[in-house]
Amino acid sequence: MIALLAHLTPTGFGPWGDGMARLFLEPTELLLVIALVLLGVQARQPCSDRLPLLLPLAWLLGGLIGLRLPSPLLLAVVCTGLLAALGLLVALGLRLRQAQLLPLAAGLAGLFALVAGSALAGHSGALAALLGETVAIAVLSLLLAQALAPPHPRWLAIGLRVGGSWITAASLLMFGWLVRHPQ
């Protein structure tokens, strides 16, 4: 029972609220959503307009597949490395085209959700927690995309790149922890 609670921190709001809180308690998942939205803002519209719909859908699909897996996927090192690379793309200020960004965002959200879903599998409120986390991702990505919508003053472009460098730095710190204390 203790191992199951390690993947779903009880908040007192039930499985739905636990899932919503999980997004903010799992640094890799939170940083993934922020990095993908920042990349979408750098790519300009229509990418930044489509990401708030694409991210929750890809998360839900990947999470549902992950819930069906027989054992948890231990891909923390891979996910952390991908997150560091994503933060580096934001820090470098690269503007990906829509044909590059949207499949990248869907694939990464699906992969991270697959890992999250496999960690939640076997928990009594796993589906409700997954739905709660999906709603939290939808709300967060929509609020970030709208708050950072064009026109882009120069300070916002600098802020986006600084945010990307912080995401990369946090990912490298998490990577160091994983190397020092493997799962």
Q: Could you tell me the pLDDT band of residue 183, with boundaries at 50, 70 and 90?
A: low
The pLDDT, as a whole number, for residue 84 is 95
Q: Which residue has the higher pLDDT, 40 or 70?
A: 40
Which residues are CB-neighbours of 47 under 8 A, at least 6 positions away?
A: 39, 40, 96, 98, 101, 102
The full set of domain ranges for the chain reads 16-180
- For residue 86, pLDDT over 90 is answered with yes
pLDDT of residue 19: 87
Query: How confident is the model over 33-44, as a mean pLDDT?
Result: 91
Average pLDDT over residues 173-183: 84
Average pLDDT over residues 19-36: 91
Above 80 in pLDDT, residue 5?
no
At 3 the pLDDT is 39
Look at residue 168 and tell me whether its pLDDT is greater than 70.
Answer: yes
Residue 147, pLDDT above cutoff 70: yes
**Among 6, 3, 8, residue whose Cα is nearest residue 128:** 8
The reported pLDDT for the residue numbered 44 is 81
pLDDT at 99: 92
Asked if pLDDT for residue 36 goes beyond 80, the answer is yes
pLDDT tens string 49-63:
899 999 999 999 999
Neighbour-count burial of 167, counting CB atoms closer than 10 A to its CB (0-12 exposed, 13-18 middle, 19+ buried)? buried
DSSP characters for 57-101? HHHHHHHHHHHTSSS----HHHHHHHHHHHHHHHHTT----HHHH
Report the percentage of the chain scoring pLDDT > 70. 94
DSSP 7: T
Quick: pLDDT tens for 90-134.
999 888 999 999 999 999 999 999 999 998 888 888 999 999 999
4-8, 22-26, 163-167: least confidently modelled range? 4-8
